[in-house]
Amino acid sequence: MSHRRRVVVTGLGTVNPNGADVPEFWSNCRRGVSALAKLTSFEVPEGFSTSVGAIRTIAPRTLRGRTPWAELDRSAQLGLGSALEAAEMARLAALPERCRVGVFISTAIGQIGAMEDSFRRQSREASQPLAAAATADHDRDWQSFQFNSSAATIAQELDCRGGCVTVTTGCTGGLDAMGYALDAIRAAEVDVAVSGATEAPITPLVVAAFGKIGATSLRNADPEHASRPFDSQRDGFVLGEGPADLGGSLGFTTAATTSSATSRGTTRSLRRRAIPPDLAAAGSSGGGDVRNWWLPAAASGAAIGGGVGAVGVWGCS
């Protein structure tokens, strides 16, 4: 029987409506804080949902890449912010140059904010057709229409050269990306992986589209409690943004082989700082060399909205 490489999580990161980083997020979840509120960034017609899980502020970062922070799409900013937190916790900077670090990121709608801005600008607020010929706008905006933009930005900023994968499987994308990363490490295709998902769907087009099909909650008078996925009176989900997926609220993880993690001294560090005792005790399942810790659905659902239910974390048995 061939030996299967043991994999551990060495870092976590998130930027979401209920916390600007992992400690704040978990603290707010424990206190039952709801991050849902009334949408105020643009006007919404009557009959559409105005309850959202929006991130109020994003701390700007000084980047070493070619694209300044202010020019990044919001989804890329959120994803990169989370990835940087996870990378710092995992001490990726201490890795030897020969180490292969891969990036596995999921997105369902890509850089939709930049796409909408480009369309409005080029069509002059939808008053004229888009130009067929190439223009300066086309050259400037082409990256926004590529689904791998967020993953490429993270790989460039963290100097990850072990492969860059974008997963587009919709609601399960974040979990799928982490599973892809786990398989890649076990198959010795990479030594370390940065994985997760990022979305920034609170835009006029996305709000209108989900509202038109009746998918979002119309409890506009009580946005803090509009998301109630297990209630018999539920009337839809609530759009939320951040590096998260519908299966998990911690947006980004770094995973590595046990030998790589031990060489950087990150295994014990993660156990002490990133996985609170009450989170680890909330429930666990799994066997062999992988253990899953699950965040109670009631806590995550109340805090984030929509279908967020569980967080799967790889760790040493």
Pairing of strands 101-106, 51-53: unpaired
- In the prediction, which pLDDT does 216 show? 95
- In the prediction, which pLDDT does 130 show? 75
The pTM is what? 0.78
Question: Could you tell me the domains of the chain?
Answer: 7-110+147-284+297-304 (3.40.47.10)
- In the prediction, which pLDDT does 283 show? 34
Cα atoms found within 13 Å of the Cα of residue 172, Cβ hemisphere only: 4
Query: Which strand ranges, in their side-by-side order, compose the sheet holding 51-53?
Result: 37-38, 51-53, 239-240
Site of tokens 């295994």: 267
Dihedral of CA 262/105/73/237: which sign? negative
Q: pLDDT averaged over consecutive 10-residue blocks of the chain (317 residues)?
A: 73 89 90 92 94 90 84 90 89 85 91 88 83 64 80 91 90 87 89 90 94 95 92 92 48 57 49 45 33 31 25 29
Q: Which residues contact residue 159 at a Cβ distance below 8 angstroms, ignoring those fewer than 6 apart?
A: 101
Burial, 128: exposed, middle or buried (Cβ in 10 Å; 0-12, 13-18, 19+)?
exposed
- In the prediction, which pLDDT does 133 show? 63
- In the prediction, which pLDDT does 263 show? 52
Please report, for the chain, how many H helices and E strands are present, in that order.
11, 10
